[in-house]
Every structure is written in structure tokens, then in C-alpha cells.
Amino acid sequence: MNFKGIIADLLFNKIKEINSDSEISIEEITNNIEVPKEKKNGDYSFPCFTLAKVMKKAPVMIGNELAEGLENENFEKIENVNGFLNFYVSKNVIVKDTFDRFMKDPNNYGSSDEGKGKTVCVEFSSPNIAKPFHIGHLITTILGHSLYNIYKYLGYNTIALNHLGDYGTQFAKMIEGYKRFGTEYDFSENAIDKLADIYKRINEICEEDPAVLEQCRDTFAKLEAGDPECVEIWTRFKDLSLKEFNKIYDLLDIKFDSVNGESFYADKHEEVIKLLEEHNALTDSQGARVVDLTPIGQEVPFMVTKSNGSSIYGTRDLAAILYRTREYDFDKCLYVVANEQKVYFKNLFYVAQFLGIDKKYLDGLEHVGYGMVSLPEGKMSTRKGNFLKVEDILNDSISKTSEILKDRDIEDKEAVAKMIGIGAIVFANQKENRIKDQVFDINEALNFNGETGPYTQYAAVRCKSILEKANFAFDANEEIDYSVLTNDSTIEVVKLVSNFSDIIVQAKDKSEPSIITRYLIKVAQEYSSFYNKNKVICEEANVQTARLYLTYMVEQVLTAGLNLLGIKVPDHM
Ligand code: ARG
């Protein structure tokens, strides 16, 4: 039920009644309705000061006038407290409404078709080949995957893009290095470390010997021109890297619809230049071609081609935008990339307007940034001089979980340890607002009693086992006695369940999966408090049935919510 809409209608009519020539719209009223932080202030609240201008009165007086005789069957109480009109939804209304919505389609509860006919590209992960997949890439991978899931659940046609960093002069150096020392290495394991080592060695040589550097430049030109030997070696780097990245994607169970990296766009920059020229956006700057950014307050222009004519990172992004408008006809294209690139994306989206693409596409471009993540030992925790590897972090969490589960009697312990170990990391990385810098502590993430993934998974598992114990079988036509679902701890759970679809939409609107994470913690906590206060399996059949259905709802919400975050729920743990 749309309680905000009902309240807005009610207030709209009342305002008209008091002041017939008021020009306030229903929409304005709706936008001002809040959900109070404290339960004692009702389920919804309308701040009367927002009407002070229209009604030319003090908020408290407005509140009194509006509250006078204001009634509606959906609310058990409406009261004016210091200029806030607080609305208390009737318990039986909220219970009935929640169950009605749930019973129709319990396995897709909270989903919707708001995205029908709309396409959203979510670009995420995008690591650089032949370089370690670092913890920052883990965050974009986790966040991007959640956003992908959220849009999908809301009915959008959703496309997962991995804009692999697989282009640039460094690969020419690496090719040169590979030719010289490649045979010294066994690439069947830790290939990325070995490629990084080759890169380090060839760089040292380049620094000493300008002739080698020159040779590398030639190699890059050759690579760009499609020289078979260069392309073959570069493809090998890419395959070796993807093999390692895929291990991480497999652990997280993430699939991409496209892994067209930067190289895919390298031969598509001519059209970009032509279009920018047509829109008079290009100027020369010491042989390079650039777009002036002073209109958006930036001194340094946006470089499109270097003086030698080759493309750069930004050129390839422009080509990618153009390509995606045609290939996907997107309504939105999200870029889940660290905050460090915030200004870059602002500039990129500004320059994109000179490609002459439809305004719809320009409006749909959005950078979804995130803060830095560090490990308790410090930002670049080193292990024998190497980066702490993401793959190791994930596997470490799985083995720590196995250790915790060691003495438990559960089937399929390995699979369960994986779900919990991975889930703990995925959950912890989405707990705070994405923009905040955070410290990731594996021991905290694995605390079964904290506000963590395992805690939330356990809440769902407990619901499952209660249902199992009671031989619960869902029946869409079950006649549930709502009159037994009235005490406070029950109503708190129902209200949370009732809000699930709103929470998902909020998470989407703000590109903020943490809204779901924190909501799920609350659901788990409130259910636990309900469970402590109310016997679910009990003597009276009608009470037991009603509470079992509530338990089932909570289980569905927790499972669906965790799945949106990219986390699986085991049957037992
Ligand atoms: N490969 C880049 C990095 O690791 C991120 C790419 C972001 N996406 C983009 N379209 N520019 O920093």
C-alpha cells in the first residue's frame, strides 16, 4: 500500500479546505513526507514548516489546523507534535497489506517491473591485465555486481561490462621484456607476478639504455598496427591475466556480458575525432589534440590524441560511450570506479556531449565512486614484498570459516564454508556508504555475532530450520489469522518486511547497496527479538500458522536481500 500517497491526498484536500487558493501540488507534499528515525514519532511524518510560506503561519499553528478532524481508516492515530504531523499506520492494515503483497509471489517479493523496457549498463571491476588485481578492484567488483543484481530485480534489462585495462605503451615494454626473458619463467602459476617481474626488469633496462626505450616505442607502433608476433604475445598476457581474474570472479560467482577492454576501442578512435571535429570541440596543443575544459572550470584540457596521433585512456572511453549507445541503446550507463577518477569522469561526460549523441545517453552517464579500502596492517599490506592478493584474501576467509565449522555436524561443509567465507567479505565491503574510506578486517567480518554476513546468513538459516521443523509448506491460499499478529515485536518485523521494496528502490536511486546491507542487519535483529519473545511452534494452530508465515517472509527477505548483495545462503550452518 502506498501510505505516502494516501497521506499526500489527505493533506492536499485538507490544505485546499483551509486555503482554497493554495497552489501546493500533491507531488510536493509527497516529497516532503518523511519516515521518522524514532518509532515514537509514528511511521510517517509531515514537517509543517514546508507549508509556512504557502499558509503564512507558524508551523505549530499549521499543524494544529491540519490535524483538526483529520482521519483515515489506514491510520490509528494522527497527531501534531511541534509542527510535525505524525501518522501511525493501523497495525491490521499494515499486516494485511504486507501479507497480500507477499502471498502473491513470495519468491520474488520486493521485485518489480519498474525497469521494463529500460536498459542499464553497469561497468565494473575493469582491472588492468598483467597487473595484480588489488583490493580496490575487489570493491568495484562487489559493488558493481550488487548494482547489477538490484537493477535486474527491478526489471531492467541489465548488462555487466568489464572494461579491461588491456592497452597502452607498457605492453610494448612487456613484449620486449618477454622476448628477452620470457623463457626464464614458468607461467603456469602466479603468471601476473611473473609478468610484473618482467616489466620491472625491462623498465630498468629502458632507464639505462635509451635505445631499448626507442625499440619499445617501435614495438608499440607495431602492436597498434596489428603485427602478428606482437599481437600474439600480447594476447598471451591477456589470457594469462584473465585466467587469474576468472578465479576471483568464479569465487564470487560473477559473470560479465562483455569483457571488451580498452584495446577493443583502440581502433575506433577515428570516428571520435571526426565527431569532435564536427562539433568544433578540438584544438591543437603542441601537436596534441585536446578539448578545452575551461567552461567547467578545469585548467588542463582533455587530451584526445597525443602528438604522435595515438589514442589515450580517455579517447578509448569516448569510443566506448559511442559504441555502447549503439550496441545497447542504454538508458543508464554506470561506471563503478574509485573516487580517484571522479574528476576524470566529470570531464569525460562533459566531452561526451561533443559526440553529438542523444541527450538521453548523456543524462544516463553516471560515475559511481567509492572510497579507499585498507587492511588493518596498512594500505598496501605486503607479503614478501608483494601485494596481498585478493585471491588469497578470499581463500583465507574460506579456510578460516572451515576452521570455525570444523566441529559442526553439517552436510557439504566445504560448500557452506565457501558461501560463508566469501559472503563475509562481500557483506563487510558493502556495510558502509561506498564513498567512505574503510578498513577491512577479516576477523571482524567473520564474527558470527557481529553485524556481519555470517550473522545475517545465520538468521536466514535459522528461519529455514524453524520452517523445516514445523513441516511448513507454503500455500498461497492459506487463511492467516492476522488478529494474532499484533504485539510490538511482531509489528516491528512486519513493518520491516513491508519496506523491502522501498529499500531496494532507495539502494538503486542512490547506487548504494549499503542501504540493503544495513536493512538486512535490522531484519535479522528484529526477527531475533521477535523469536525470543514469541513462541513460533506452539499449541494454538492459528497462532503457529501466522508466525510460521511471518518466519517464511523473513527468510525470503533475508535470502533475496543477501542475493542482491551477491551473497548465497546455505541450508545449514
Ligand atoms: N582499468 C582502470 C583501473 O584499473 C579502471 C577503468 C575504469 N573504467 C573506465 N571506463 N575508464 O584503474
Does the pLDDT of residue 378 top 80, yes or no?
no
pLDDT for the residue 381 = 42
Atom of ligand 1 nearest to the CA of 337: 7
Joined grid coordinates for residue 54: 504557502
- β-pairing, 157-161 vs 119-123, is parallel
Does the pLDDT of residue 383 top 50, yes or no?
no
Q: Are 484 and 546 in contact (CB under 8 A)?
A: yes
pLDDT for the residue 108 = 97
Atom of ligand 1 nearest to the CA of 348: 11
pLDDT for the residue 535 = 96
Atom of ligand 1 nearest to the CA of 320: 10
Distance of CA 478 from the midpoint of ligand 1 (Å):
52
pLDDT for the residue 39 = 86
Select the more confidently predicted residue: 207 or 309. Answer: 207
Does the pLDDT of residue 501 top 70, yes or no?
yes
Task: Identify the residue whose C-alpha is closest to ligand 1 atom 11.
Answer: 317
Band of the pLDDT at 387, cuts 50, 70, 90? low
Distance of CA 163 from the midpoint of ligand 1 (Å):
7
45, exposed or middle or buried, with CB in 10 Å at 0-12, 13-18, 19+? Answer: buried
Atom of ligand 1 nearest to the CA of 127: 4
Report domain extents, the chain: 3-89, 124-372, 447-565
* Contact 335 CB / ligand 1 (< 6 Å): yes
pLDDT for the residue 123 = 98
Distance of CA 548 from the midpoint of ligand 1 (Å):
48
pLDDT for the residue 385 = 39
Distance of CA 186 from the midpoint of ligand 1 (Å):
29
* Contact 128 CB / ligand 1 (< 6 Å): yes
Mean pLDDT for 184-211 is 93
Name the DSSP letter for residue 378: B
Q: Kindly report, residue by residue over 198-219, the tens digit of the pLDDT.
A: 999 999 999 999 999 999 989 9
Give the fold, CATH level 3, of 124-372: Rossmann fold (3.40.50)
Distance of CA 261 from the midpoint of ligand 1 (Å):
9
Distance of CA 342 from the midpoint of ligand 1 (Å):
12
Task: Identify the residue whose C-alpha is closest to ligand 1 atom 12.
Answer: 127
* Contact 315 CB / ligand 1 (< 6 Å): no
CA atoms in the 13 A half-sphere facing the CB of 286 = 3
Alpha-carbon distances, residue 420 vs 139, 226, 239, 410, 424 (angstroms): 18, 46, 30, 13, 6
Band of the pLDDT at 490, cuts 50, 70, 90? very high
Q: Kindly report, residue by residue over 248-265, the tens digit of the pLDDT.
A: 999 999 999 999 999 999
Q: Could you tell me the pTM of the whole model? A: 0.93
Residue of 122, 125, 126, 335 to test ligand 1 pocket, by largest number of atoms within 8 Å of CB = 126
Q: Kindly report, residue by residue over 524-552, the tens digit of the pLDDT.
A: 999 999 999 999 999 999 999 999 999 99
Q: Kindly report, residue by residue over 405-425, the tens digit of the pLDDT.
A: 999 999 999 999 999 999 999
Q: Are 325 and 356 in contact (CB under 8 A)?
A: no
Query: Do the domains spanning 3-89 and 447-565 agree at the CATH topology level?
Result: no
Distance of CA 50 from the midpoint of ligand 1 (Å):
43
* Contact 163 CB / ligand 1 (< 6 Å): yes
Distance of CA 231 from the midpoint of ligand 1 (Å):
22
In angstroms, rounded to a whole number, what is the distance separating the alpha carbons of residues 416 and 422?
Answer: 10
In angstroms, rounded to a whole number, what is the distance separating the alpha carbons of residues 532 and 489?
Answer: 9
Q: Kindly report, residue by residue over 504-523, the tens digit of the pLDDT.
A: 999 999 999 999 999 999 99
Band of the pLDDT at 29, cuts 50, 70, 90? very high
* Contact 161 CB / ligand 1 (< 6 Å): no
pLDDT for the residue 540 = 96
pLDDT for the residue 55 = 85
Does the pLDDT of residue 436 top 70, yes or no?
yes
Distance of CA 160 from the midpoint of ligand 1 (Å):
14
Q: Kindly report, residue by residue over 311-354, the tens digit of the pLDDT.
A: 899 999 999 999 999 999 999 999 999 999 999 999 999 999 99
* Contact 369 CB / ligand 1 (< 6 Å): no
Question: First-to-last CA distance in the chain?
Answer: 36
- The CATH superfamily of 3-89 is Arginyl tRNA synthetase N-terminal domain (3.30.1360.70)
pLDDT for the residue 384 = 40
Coil, strand, or helix at residue 349? helix
Distance of CA 143 from the midpoint of ligand 1 (Å):
15
Band of the pLDDT at 21, cuts 50, 70, 90? confident
* Contact 262 CB / ligand 1 (< 6 Å): no
Coil, strand, or helix at residue 254? coil
Distance of CA 127 from the midpoint of ligand 1 (Å):
7
Mean pLDDT for 76-87 is 95
Alpha-carbon distances, residue 50 vs 38, 58, 400, 529 (angstroms): 20, 10, 53, 37
* Contact 337 CB / ligand 1 (< 6 Å): yes
What percent of the chain has a predicted confidence (pLDDT) above 70? 98
CATH 1.10.730.10 fits 447-565, yes or no: yes
Does the pLDDT of residue 382 top 60, yes or no?
no
Distance of CA 295 from the midpoint of ligand 1 (Å):
25
Residue of 163, 264, 333, 370 to test ligand 1 pocket, by largest number of atoms within 8 Å of CB = 163
Atom of ligand 1 nearest to the CA of 313: 11
| Torsion sign, CA atoms 205, 211, 217, 219 | negative
Q: Kindly report, residue by residue over 267-281, the tens digit of the pLDDT.
A: 898 999 999 999 999
